[in-house]
């Protein structure tokens, strides 16, 4: 269980727990508003520290209309998840995401672009979404027109720090084209 | 700039490995072709241009499972986004 909460800009009622990746990648391509459909967000403290280190701060989220809170996760809880996973597969910040989603009985929506964390969460029945899903949802909800979705996907592949191999880029373009 | 880096890396390999330049270049070509081939094979499989049976002749079962798991995760992501929320 999280051992405490520090609220920054939103009550701690979030049903969405976010890892670093989706927020960082959407910020890198100027598409933070794609997160509004799953706001308010909960960030474990290490994830929030990573985001701040990479230039994502309270004001950038607030300007995009995203409410969020930062939850302090006991280090022992995170370490337990790291130690029980395949060595090197889950980092401590990722483990904190797992701890928070677990504390919701895996009912909270989890945001991550990390495949190992996604697999771990999904093996417990959690719903996991990444940057791509959020961009597609913004299009589906009418927040982004089609041309913006196409451009956002290209920006995600070419301008963000999200890594996808050439093969998976081609596959993703096919999925988007078929929408 | 990239050419300069490549030249520097080649010089480093020649010195570090104690091999002549032609040997290092031949090995680099082989490694490069293998990497590109693998990537092209995966792309062809993901896009449905070759069968699972065909790709399974070139990849280990574990590698193929990993690729399929990542493919399915990406598809689930798009499917989630495509649902009205």
Domains belonging to chain A, first-starting first, are: 4-132 (3.40.50.1010)
Find the closest chain B residue to A153 by CA distance: B78
Q: Which of B50, B80, B84 to mutate to test the interface with A (most CBs of A within 10 A)?
A: B80
| Domain limits for position B27 | 2-82
Query: Would the CB atoms of B78 and A175 count as touching at under 8 Å?
Result: yes
Q: Is A139 exposed, middle or buried (0-12, 13-18, 19+ CB in 10 A)?
A: buried
pLDDT band for B85, please (50, 70, 90 cuts).
low
Rounded distance between C-alpha atoms, residue A2 and residue A9, angstroms = 19
Rounded distance between C-alpha atoms, residue A68 and residue A7, angstroms = 8
Q: Which residues fall within 8 angstroms of residue A23, CB to CB, at 6 or more apart?
A: A32, A35, A41, A51, A56, A61, A111
pLDDT of A13 = 44
Rounded distance between C-alpha atoms, residue A136 and residue A128, angstroms = 14
Find the closest chain A residue to B49 by CA distance: A171
B74 or A4: which leads in pLDDT: B74
* Reported pTM: 0.87
Residues in B closer than 8 angstroms to A130, CB to CB, are 73, 77
Query: Would the CB atoms of B74 and A171 count as touching at under 8 Å?
Result: yes
CB pairs under 8 A between A and B: 77
Rounded distance between C-alpha atoms, residue A127 and residue A111, angstroms = 9
Residues in A closer than 8 angstroms to B73, CB to CB, are 115, 118-119, 122, 128, 130
Query: Would the CB atoms of A136 and B39 count as touching at under 8 Å?
Result: no
Rounded distance between C-alpha atoms, residue A176 and residue A136, angstroms = 8
pLDDT < 50 stretches in chain A = 1-14
Question: Is the four-CA dihedral A110, A115, A119, A120 of positive or negative sign?
Answer: negative
pLDDT at B77 over 50: yes
Give the count of domains, chain B: 1
pLDDT of A79 = 92
Query: Would the CB atoms of A168 and B71 count as touching at under 8 Å?
Result: yes
pLDDT of A1 = 39
Order of strands, sheet of A68-72, starting from the edge strand that comes earlier in the sequence: A4-6, A68-72, A41-44, A16-18, A109-111, A128-129
User: Which whole number is the average pLDDT over B33-42?
Assistant: 95
pLDDT of A86 = 85
The mean pLDDT of chain B is 93
């Amino acid at each position: 269980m999280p051992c405490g909460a520090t609220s920054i800009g939103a009550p701690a009622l979030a049903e969405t727990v976010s890892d670093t990746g989706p927020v960082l990648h959407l910020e890198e391509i100027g598409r933070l508003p794609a997160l509004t459909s799953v706001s308010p967000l909960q960030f474990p403290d290490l994830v929030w520290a990573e985001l701040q280190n990479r230039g994502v701060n309270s004001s950038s989220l607030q300007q995009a209309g995203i409410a969020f809170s930062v939850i302090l996760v006991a280090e022992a809880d995170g370490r337990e998840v790291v130690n029980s996973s395949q060595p090197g597969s889950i980092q401590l910040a990722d483990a904190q995401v797992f701890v928070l989603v677990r504390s919701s009985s895996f009912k909270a929506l989890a945001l991550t672009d990390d495949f190992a964390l996604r697999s771990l969460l999904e093996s417990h029945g959690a719903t996991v979404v990444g940057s791509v899903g959020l961009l597609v949802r913004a299009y589906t909800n009418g927040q982004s027109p089609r041309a913006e979705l196409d451009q956002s996907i290209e920006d995600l592949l070419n301008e963000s720090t999200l890594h996808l191999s050439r093969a998976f880029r081609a596959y993703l373009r096919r999925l988007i084209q078929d929408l | 700039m990239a050419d300069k880096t490549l030249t520097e890396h080649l010089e480093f390999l020649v010195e570090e490995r104690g091999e002549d330049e032609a040997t290092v270049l031949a090995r680099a070509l082989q490694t490069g072709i293998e990497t590109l081939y693998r990537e092209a094979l995966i792309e062809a499989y993901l896009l449905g241009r070759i069968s699972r049976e065909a790709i399974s002749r070139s990849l280990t079962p574990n590698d193929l499972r990993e690729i399929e798991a990542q493919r399915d995760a990406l598809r689930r992501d798009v499917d989630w986004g495509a649902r009205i929320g």
